[in-house]
């Protein structure tokens, strides 16, 4: 997969943030979750669940796919990880705070993914509609590939 811009926070900051988010939400940041989250950070871009599974096997006695998917669902629910729908892959959130919708710019040439805050869509939603989950993905070419 392609490169993802992690300029916002270091790996240690991301791990500490994940621990804090888990604690705030009354959840456990277990050693296996910590290991999977570290692999997501190290990926430096979107990574598929089965690629994570392959990376886990040597250290965790061949965990089964549901183990990885449960961890990914856990992180997604807490806003620590985003699912890039069209790539069927996961990526850590670039921002160390909650309450934002992610908007992804995906280069179709090199698979580079850049995350930005999505604009507030409150004004364009139907009256009474409560948004629970949004995925906004744009496809095209990054500046490097377009040059």
Q: Count the domains in the chain.
A: 2
Predicted confidence band of residue 4 (pLDDT cuts 50, 70, 90): very low
Domain co-membership, 64 together with 121 = no
CA proximity to 60, closest of 38, 93, 89, 92: 38
CATH at residue 82? 1.10.10.10
pLDDT of residue 85: 83
Beta bridge pairs of residue 4? 113
Whether 48 contacts 88, CB under 8 Å:
yes
pTM of the model: 0.75
Q: 3-class DSSP state for residue 81?
A: strand
Domain co-membership, 46 together with 70 = yes
pLDDT of residue 11: 87
Beta bridge pairs of residue 136? 103
Domain boundary among 64, 92, 120: 92
Domain co-membership, 17 together with 85 = yes
Q: Has residue 3 been placed in a domain?
A: no
Tokens for 64, please give them.
Answer: 């089964």
CATH at residue 120? 3.30.1490.190
Domain co-membership, 73 together with 113 = no
Predicted confidence band of residue 48 (pLDDT cuts 50, 70, 90): very high
Q: Has residue 108 been placed in a domain?
A: yes
Residue 71 belongs to domain spanning:
11-92
63-85: pLDDT as tens digits: 788 989 999 999 998 889 888 88
Residue 96 has pLDDT above 80, yes or no: no
Domain co-membership, 37 together with 70 = yes
Residue 39 has pLDDT above 80, yes or no: yes
Buried b (16+ CB within 10 A) or exposed e, 88-126: ebbbbbbbeeeeebbbbbbbeeebbbbbeeeeeeeeeee
Residue 102 has pLDDT above 80, yes or no: no
């Amino acid at each position: 997969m392609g490169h993802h811009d992690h300029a916002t926070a270091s790996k240690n900051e991301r791990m500490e943030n994940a621990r804090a988010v888990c604690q705030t939400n009354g959840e456990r940041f277990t050693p296996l979750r910590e290991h999977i989250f570290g692999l997501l950070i190290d990926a430096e871009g979107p990574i598929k669940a089965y690629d994570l599974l392959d990376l886990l096997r040597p250290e965790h006695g061949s965990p089964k796919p549901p183990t990885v998917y449960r961890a990914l669902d856990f992180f997604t629910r807490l806003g620590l990880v985003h699912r890039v729908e069209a790539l069927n892959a996961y990526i850590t959130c670039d921002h160390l705070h909650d309450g934002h919708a992610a908007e992804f710019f995906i280069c179709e040439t090199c698979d580079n993914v850049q995350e930005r805050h999505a604009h507030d869509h409150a004004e364009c939603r139907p009256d009474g509609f409560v948004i629970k989950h949004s995925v906004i993905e744009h496809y095209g070419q990054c500046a490097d590939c377009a040059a």
